[in-house]
Amino acid sequence: MAAGTPNLHGGPDGHAVLFYRDAGELAGRVSTYLLEAIRAGGVAVVIATPAHRDAIAGELARAGADVTADHVADRYLALDAFETMDQFMVADWPNAASFWLTVSPLVRQAAETGTPVHVFGEMVALLWDFGQVNAAIEVEAMWNELSAQYPFSLLCAYPAKSVGDRQHQDALAEVCRVHAAVLGGLPGEAGRA
């Protein structure tokens, strides 16, 4: 797939994963993806750490989409990944009902606009980094279930260095399997998209 925006549509076919090398690559790729929805009059949802939310907002502003401007702010929702996870994690495992209660209202409200909805999330990467690899894969599956109910596309992202170790090769294969597209190349590949 080309280095630009993933061509994603609603449903499980609209769920891509990005393996990125550094924060600059993450902010650039995610902002390009979100900008597509914003320019089409759609909704962009970001569920990320404060540093990544700031970097993405900065890239969007440089591209002409200031997320604090009135004409964009009402179509841009930025949430803290840790706070969002706290609402559905129970004893280090994602609770399906709590995930649904936390995330589905956001996606449903955005989807009701009838415009493109692009969601970026890094909660799964945080779980992976905390050693909760199976919980991350479960959250990926929950996103796929949600995508069967509402039209949106989802871009997840993992730092390539976090997921590239031999210990988690099977888990990495499962992460790739639950996504319709893999961007940035698999960790450890010599050539990157």
pLDDT at residue 71, as a whole number: 79
User: Are the C-beta atoms of residues 99 and 25 closer than 8 Å to each other?
Assistant: no
Tell me how far apart the alpha carbons of residues 60 and 174 are, in angstroms, rounded to a whole number. Answer: 31
- Of 144, 146, 133, whose CA–CA distance to 172 is shortest? 133
User: What's the mean per-residue pLDDT of the chain?
Assistant: 90
Tokens of 91: 């004893």
Tell me how far apart the alpha carbons of residues 137 and 135 are, in angstroms, rounded to a whole number. Answer: 5
The residue-averaged pLDDT of 66-95 equals: 93
pLDDT at residue 12, as a whole number: 47
Class of CATH domain 12-183: alpha beta
Tokens of 79: 């949430």
Which amino acid, residue 19? F
pLDDT at residue 188, as a whole number: 66
User: Are the C-beta atoms of residues 110 and 147 closer than 8 Å to each other?
Assistant: no
Q: Is residue 70 predicted with pLDDT exceeding 70?
A: yes
User: Are the C-beta atoms of residues 34 and 78 closer than 8 Å to each other?
Assistant: no
Q: Tell me the pLDDT tens digit for each residue of 26-55.
A: 999 999 999 999 999 999 999 999 999 999
Q: Tell me the pLDDT tens digit for each residue of 129-187.
A: 999 999 999 999 999 999 999 999 999 999 999 998 888 899 999 999 999 999 987 77
The residue-averaged pLDDT of 87-107 equals: 97
Q: Is residue 3 predicted with pLDDT exceeding 60?
A: no
- b (16+ CB within 10 A) / e for 109-127: ebbeeeebbbbbbbbbbbb
Quickly state the pLDDT bin for 5 (edges 50, 70, 90). Answer: very low
Task: Match 């994602």 to its residue by tokens.
Answer: 94
User: Are the C-beta atoms of residues 9 and 76 closer than 8 Å to each other?
Assistant: no
pLDDT at residue 78, as a whole number: 96
